[in-house]
């Protein structure tokens, strides 16, 4: 399987918020038929790595296939919650948008088959080795 790395924002929109010390990120595929690529890339371990500096608790990813979305719950993510946290974003409102900038690994053949644009694809997660797009 040949894989490429894409910024999550190529595949999805996101919206986030909080409940106490938990952050919820809804990640919705830009095209409903891209959902298989989205769920392949966005996993609990991927989110844990992306947010290792801030999230101290469990991370769960729930599928919402009817709308082509994922519901991601991150526990112990706000230093105790909005009323006590000293973080700039004490409610986790920007965490969804920030997550969209992180690159996810996807199967290149599946992405091409589903019409996912690969203009921003790279061969590594940092995006330093671009992949030429063949027309």
Q: Which long-range contacts (CB under 8 A, 24 or more apart) does 108-114 make?
A: 108/2, 108/3, 108/4, 109/1, 109/2, 110/36, 110/37, 110/40, 111/4, 111/6, 111/37, 114/31, 114/33, 114/34, 114/36, 114/37
pLDDT (tens digit per residue) in 13-50? 999 887 878 899 999 999 999 999 999 999 999 999 99
> Contact at 8 Å (CB) between 4 and 116?
no
pLDDT (tens digit per residue) in 50-83? 988 888 899 999 999 999 999 999 998 776 556 5
**What residues does each domain of the chain span?**
11-102
Give the contacts of 45 (CB within 8 A, at least 6 positions apart): none
């Amino acid at each position: 399987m040949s894989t490429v790395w894409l910024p999550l924002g190529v595949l999805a929109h996101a919206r986030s918020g909080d409940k106490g010390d938990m952050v919820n990120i809804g990640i919705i595929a830009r095209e409903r038929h891209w959902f298989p690529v989205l769920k392949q890339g966005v996993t609990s371990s991927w989110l844990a790595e992306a947010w290792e500096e801030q999230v101290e608790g469990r991370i769960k990813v729930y599928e919402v296939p009817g709308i082509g979305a994922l519901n991601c719950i991150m526990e112990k993510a706000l230093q105790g919650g909005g009323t006590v946290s000293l973080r700039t974003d004490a409610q986790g409102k920007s965490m969804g948008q920030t997550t969209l900038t992180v690159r996810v690994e996807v199967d290149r053949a599946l992405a091409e088959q589903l019409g996912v644009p690969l203009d921003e694809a790279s061969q590594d997660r940092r995006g330093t080795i671009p992949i030429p797009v063949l027309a």
